C-alpha cells in the first residue's frame, strides 16, 4: 500500500501561475497523465461546476477537453532526445504489464493550495500506478530523472487560482454541486508533451 498524505487544506489560496518559472510558454514538458476523452458525465459535471463560477475573477477555468489527472513529471522535451523518450515508453510498458488503470470516482469538489479540483479515488491504487510509472522512468533515465512532487493527492483540476483569495470565494458558489461525484470507467494513460498556454495546460 502507498501511504497517502493528508489532503492539503488551506483557508487562503494562492496564484498557481507563480509555480515553476522555468516552465515557459511553448516549452513542452513530458508528463504522465490520465485523460478523459469520451467521458460525457465528467464533462457535464465540470460544465455545471464551472457555470457556477462565472464572474469569479480569481479562477481560470479548465476547458473540458483539457481535463486531466497528473501522475508524474518526466522532463522537458528540449532536454530529452527522442531515443530516450522511446526508452521511457518501453520501460513503462514492461512495468505496467499485467496492470490496468482502475475505474475512478471523481468528486467531491475541493480546493488545493492553488486550484479548485475534483478529488480522485481510489487513492491507494492511483498511488501505486504513480509509483510504477516513477520506477519505470528511473529505470529508463537513471536515478536523477525529473519527477513531480514527493507527495501525491490524486485530483482533476476544474480551475486554477490566478490571485490570492479566500477559499470561500471559490467554494460558496459551488454549494449546489460540491458533493457530486462521477465514475470514470476507462481513463486513458498517456505520456503527454504538455504546454502551458493561455493559463491552462494543453498537450
Nearest CA-CA partner of 70 in 144, 20, 22: 20
Q: Residue 9 domain-assigned?
A: no
- How far are the Cα atoms of 45, 137, 173, 186 from residue 54, in angstroms, in the given order? 15, 40, 9, 30
Residue 31 is placed in which grid cell?
508528463
Q: Alpha-carbon distance 119 to 100, whole Å?
A: 20
Q: Alpha-carbon distance 44 to 36, whole Å?
A: 12
Q: Residue 176 domain-assigned?
A: yes
Residue 26 is placed in which grid cell?
511553448
Domains in the chain: how many in total? 1
Query: Given this model, what pLDDT does residue 4 score?
Result: 58
Q: Residue 60 domain-assigned?
A: yes
- How far are the Cα atoms of 66, 109, 136 from residue 75, in angstroms, in the given order? 20, 30, 14
Q: What is the chain's pLDDT, residue by residue, as a tens digit (203 residues)?
A: 445 568 888 889 999 988 777 888 789 999 999 999 999 999 999 999 999 999 999 999 999 999 999 999 999 999 999 999 999 999 999 999 988 888 999 999 999 999 999 999 999 999 999 999 999 999 999 887 766 788 899 999 999 999 999 999 999 999 999 999 999 998 999 999 999 888 889 99
Q: Alpha-carbon distance 195 to 202, whole Å?
A: 5
Answer yes or no: are the C-beta atoms of 120 and 104 closer than 8 Å.
Answer: yes
Q: Residue 15 domain-assigned?
A: no
Q: Which domain holds residue 62?
A: 26-202
- Show Cβ contacts of residue 72 under 8 Å, excluding neighbours closer than 6 positions: 31, 32, 130, 133, 134, 137, 147, 148
Q: Residue 7 domain-assigned?
A: no
Q: Residue 156 domain-assigned?
A: yes
Query: Given this model, what pLDDT does residue 146 score?
Result: 67
Q: Residue 183 domain-assigned?
A: yes
168: domain CATH number?
A: 3.90.1140.10
Amino acid at each position: 500500500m502507498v501511504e497517502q498524505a493528508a489532503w492539503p487544506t488551506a483557508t487562503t489560496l494562492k496564484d498557481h501561475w507563480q509555480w515553476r518559472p522555468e516552465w515557459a510558454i511553448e516549452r513542452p514538458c513530458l508528463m504522465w497523465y490520465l485523460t478523459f476523452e469520451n467521458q460525457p458525465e465528467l464533462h457535464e459535471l465540470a460544465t455545471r461546476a464551472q457555470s457556477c463560477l462565472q464572474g469569479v475573477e480569481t479562477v481560470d477555468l479548465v476547458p473540458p477537453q483539457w481535463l486531466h489527472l497528473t501522475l508524474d513529471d518526466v522532463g522537458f522535451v528540449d532536454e530529452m532526445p527522442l531515443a530516450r523518450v522511446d526508452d521511457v515508453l518501453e520501460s513503462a510498458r514492461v512495468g505496467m504489464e499485467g496492470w490496468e488503470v482502475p475505474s475512478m470516482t471523481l468528486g467531491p469538489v475541493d480546493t488545493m493550495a492553488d486550484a479548485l479540483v475534483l478529488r480522485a479515488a481510489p487513492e491507494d491504487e492511483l498511488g501505486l500506478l504513480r509509483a510504477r510509472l516513477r520506477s519505470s522512468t528511473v529505470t529508463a533515465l537513471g536515478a536523477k530523472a525529473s519527477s513531480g512532487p514527493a507527495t501525491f493527492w490524486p485530483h482533476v483540476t476544474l480551475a486554477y487560482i490566478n490571485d490570492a483569495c479566500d477559499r470561500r470565494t471559490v467554494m460558496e458558489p459551488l454549494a449546489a454541486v460540491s458533493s457530486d461525484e462521477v465514475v470514470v470507467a476507462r481513463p486513458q494513460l498517456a505520456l503527454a508533451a504538455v504546454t502551458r498556454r493561455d493559463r491552462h495546460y494543453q498537450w
